[in-house]
Copies of this chain bind each other. A is one copy, B any other.
Amino acid sequence: MVKQERAARTRELLVQAAAEAFAREGFIPASLTTISRRAGVSNGALHFHFESKSTLARAVEEEAAEVIRQIGRSDAGRPGALQRLVDATYYLMGRLDQDVVVRAGFQLSNCAALRERSVDLRGQWQHWIEQVLQEAEREGELAAGVPAADAATVVAAAMAGFEMLGAKDRDWTSRGRLLPFWELMLPRLAAPGVLEQVKPAGTRLGAHPSRRQPPT
């Protein structure tokens, strides 16, 4: 393994170990020594990559933000804005459920008061929800009398709630919570003729992704 690869792998091990410590113990109690030990690297190596616990927290948030960017990219050109929205919620909840880096990233960004700067993960996700619902409106997918902005309010609030409640009890980020949400909401959101085509359980594209592979 060349030097650059090894450095990237060490960095990734540290981000993973930090996310585990933040999710389990909380940002304040988590110690850098525990994190470096869990990552199997020296304290010196940790400080080579990250100058402080806040820098590590930011790296965790940045990796979580990549999930939101992935959702945005995967959409390009695919028809069916409502189905894409449903699928994306299953995808994000699946990642929150299964990937400690994503989960810790959102938790850190909930407690933004802890640190001076944090990544606005939730703002990025809300922006995407608004955009896709505006697209649904333009394409005539939304029911009459349902403004895209109102639909976005409800979906964004519920997703923020699932995600936050999931930090304490992972049942909230499971399919068993998301399915009743969409079963209740879709008949109100979708125009006649569109409703029959949108699957509240999501399509294959929105299936829960497999567990994140730890770096090898």
A residues touching B (Cβ–Cβ < 8 Å)? 25-29, 107, 110-114, 122, 146-147, 149-151, 153-154, 156-162, 164-165, 168, 172, 177, 180-181, 183-185, 187-189
Contacts and interface: CB of A to CB of B under 8 A. Distances in A.
A181 to B, nearest CB: 5
14 contacts: A25-B113, A28-B28, A28-B114, A29-B113, A110-B111, A111-B111, A146-B184, A147-B180, A151-B184, A154-B184, A157-B159, A157-B172, A160-B161, A161-B162
Interface centre among A26, A161, A172, A187, by most chain B C-beta atoms within 10 angstroms, is: A161
A184 B150 contact: yes
Given A26-B112, A157-B165, 14 more contacts: A26-B114, A29-B113, A107-B113, A110-B164, A147-B180, A149-B180, A150-B184, A154-B180, A157-B158, A157-B162, A160-B165, A161-B164, A164-B164, A188-B188
A108 to B, nearest CB: 10
* Majority DSSP secondary structure for residues of A touching B: helix
Report the copy number of this chain in the oligomer.
2
Contacts of A187: 188
A180 B160 CA distance: 17
Contact of A168 (B112, B147, B159, B164): B112
